[in-house]
Amino acid sequence: MKELLKFNREEYRNSASEIIKARAVAEEIADKISKEGYENIFFSAVGGSLAPMMAVGEFAKELTDLPVYIEQAAELIISNNKRLNEKSVLITLSKSGDTKETVAIAKHCKEKGIRVISCTGNPESPLAKASTYVVPMKHKKGVEYEYMLLYWLFFRFLHNRGDFDKYDEFAKGLENIPQNLEKIKESFDPKAKEIASKHFDAPIQYWIGSREMWGEVYLFSMCILEEMQWIKTKSVTSPEFFHGTLELIDKDTSVFLVKSESKSRDLDERCQKFLEKYTDKLVIIDTQEYALNNFPKEFRWIVAPLICSTCLVDRLAAHFESYTGHNLDYRRYYRQFDY
Amino acid sequence: MKELLKFNREEYRNSASEIIKARAVAEEIADKISKEGYENIFFSAVGGSLAPMMAVGEFAKELTDLPVYIEQAAELIISNNKRLNEKSVLITLSKSGDTKETVAIAKHCKEKGIRVISCTGNPESPLAKASTYVVPMKHKKGVEYEYMLLYWLFFRFLHNRGDFDKYDEFAKGLENIPQNLEKIKESFDPKAKEIASKHFDAPIQYWIGSREMWGEVYLFSMCILEEMQWIKTKSVTSPEFFHGTLELIDKDTSVFLVKSESKSRDLDERCQKFLEKYTDKLVIIDTQEYALNNFPKEFRWIVAPLICSTCLVDRLAAHFESYTGHNLDYRRYYRQFDY
């Protein structure tokens, strides 16, 4: 088996087992609340933890008429949202369990008698203590594992409402995703190295994607490239690209287009057609290039963000680090002092 | 009266009269549909026309439990949104009335028996023809006029549901906003000139704001600076700034913070405190510095985006143009050919 830059295979596999063990916990919580009844679901977090929730919000639009709201935690707490009430369910996510804004919204809701489900790594954390239910999120690294927990939770809710018939097949298939992602990491790795070598010193990177892939575009550009590499980025959705950002493109502009596997692919391909003409520095990230074994084909579009995440947040970030020489763990401001 | 760079006072006043005339039309449509009944409202447009809708989406969260959805038109049309049905109302906006994606979503909805209200300047335009109702939007320039029409429409809907008691006072006050904005343009103008002179050649501009002000931050950075000035920008919300973008700030970074007049102001001030320490090139855009005559104080936070818009899209853009020498009307790609 190939050694990959900064990839700890054993740790990744152990993380998979930990997450798969939590599936039953997530499902039990969804079943209990489904029996009790609820009127809407709020997903709330900050930064990178919002990204998987953004994808869930897009699936919700197509699959259910249940109102599902995705809210930045700090904004939700100050906004006095009228739809957030005792009949709501709040789902939060923070690996460390000490993210200030996320702990605050959980506390705020629990005090108001709103059921709070938190995905978090530490059962003793402030977030866990402020929650009604905790889904243990005990992986070491990998945003894909955060998606998996949220999916088991959310799609189980939908299944219980009659909005997602093939839940069992989907949920079982999800357990096979980590093995698939290991192989995908291997295939993508040389491409990641090549991309990093060509673009690590670009004055700015443009990142584009749409709907269920947007969270990954948002996360990678802001929480990885900006925060951990101090690389300038601008991210924009594929359809909105044509309402401003397009004018900045010239032959020498580094542009990254993340293609969706859903109907949004048309929106991405409209960008691709334009970009292929006007820049020589276009990079396409297309999850469709990678096979998934033991996973139902009809749900590929739902796990595409996980494939994208493993390629970018794991592989591409590692290779950017090796070219820029900027340690991914170094911060000058973030969590260095109070602000 | 002071002459202002590229400001046609007579045209601005005529525009105000045209828009104020349309108030009754907007209200009549809202009243008719309120009587018929409806279950949710979708606001859908693209680019700059989405900005005022984003603000409306934020007001909706605080003021009503009616589901209100803000959707990019191209994404809405391909997403098969389950909540969009014959009991929905679609509100679109496009001044020209020929914006491809907006016309498409209007047609799509009308064919499905969904009531479509469009704010548009030309009653013979494809958008007008694809709509059930048209609110005439006959101003020449000024995003504030687009806000005004949307407000008379939306807050009348809320009033009819019992969610906005003081509608009459608010709606009447709105008629006095253009006169106020004329004066605000005059006060802001020297500041706009100074800002432009200091920042027109910055390698990138960071724009920050939150909730009801976010639309303006989004619009000005993308649809004006990127599209019309080819200036690089990154926009990010005040609370999300702390989850990535902050690491890019140094003493020499041009940062623009738009302050809200609602409870979100705390989120903006958290940014301000940080930014005052770490950059020497911070610009604060604070609508609270400007008086509003004959307008109820309690609704200031709702019209703050209009003040911001007139300061940025009108004044600041004009001064940027005069320093960069880049004509605001020149495009190399946008609407120059099919893409």
Contact B244 A226 (CB under 8 A): yes
- Best of A242, A262, A269 to substitute, by most chain B Cβ atoms within 10 angstroms, is A242
| A200: CB partners within 8 A, 6+ apart | A231, A320, A323, A324
pLDDT at B16: 98
pLDDT at B248: 98
Side-chain-facing half-sphere of B51: CA atoms under 13 Å: 30
**How far apart are alpha carbons B306 and B300 in whole angstroms?**
10
- Best of A42, A46, A53, A61 to substitute, by most chain B Cβ atoms within 10 angstroms, is A61
pLDDT at B78 exceeding the cut of 80: yes
pLDDT at A335: 86
| Average pLDDT score over chain B | 97
- Best of B225, B247, B277 to substitute, by most chain A Cβ atoms within 10 angstroms, is B247
Q: SS3 string of B124-178?
A: CCHHHHCCCEEEECCCCCCHHHHHHHHHHHHHHHHHHCCCCCCHHHHHHHHHCHH
Contact B263 A79 (CB under 8 A): yes
pLDDT at B9: 97
pTM: 0.98
pLDDT at B338: 86
Segment 151-210 of chain A within 8 Å of chain B by CB: 203-204, 210
Which secondary structure element, helix H or strand E, spans residue B206, and what is its range? strand B205-209
**How far apart are alpha carbons B322 and B6 in whole angstroms?**
10
Is the model more confident about A87 or about B1?
A87
pLDDT at B2: 81
Whether residue B247 lies within 8 A of chain A, CB to CB, comes out as yes
Instruction: State the 10-residue block means of pLDDT for chain A, 339 residues long.
Output: 93 98 98 98 97 98 96 95 97 96 97 98 96 98 98 98 98 98 98 98 98 98 98 98 97 98 97 98 98 98 98 98 96 89
CA distance to A200, B14, B143, B262, per residue, from A93 (Å)? 31, 52, 38, 27
pLDDT at A81: 95
Asked whether the CA dihedral B76, A244, B220, B327 is positive or negative, the reply is negative
The residue ranges of DSSP E strands in chain A, in sequence order, are 40-45, 68-72, 88-93, 115-120, 133-136, 205-209, 233-237, 254-259, 282-286
The shortest CB-CB distance from B204 to any of A204, A236, A266 is to A204
Digit-coded pLDDT (tens) for B187-224: 999 999 999 999 999 999 999 999 999 999 999 999 99
pLDDT at B190: 98
**How far apart are alpha carbons B70 and B53 in whole angstroms?**
7
pLDDT at B339: 84
Selection from B329, B92, B322, B336 nearest residue B197 by Cα:
B322
Which ipTM score applies to this complex? 0.97
| A306: CB partners within 8 A, 6+ apart | A143, A144, A147, A148, A177, A181
Digit-coded pLDDT (tens) for B260-295: 999 999 999 999 999 999 999 999 999 999 999 999
Segment 91-110 of chain B within 8 Å of chain A by CB: 101
pLDDT at B325: 97
Q: What are phi and psi of B292, to 5 degrees?
A: -125, 120
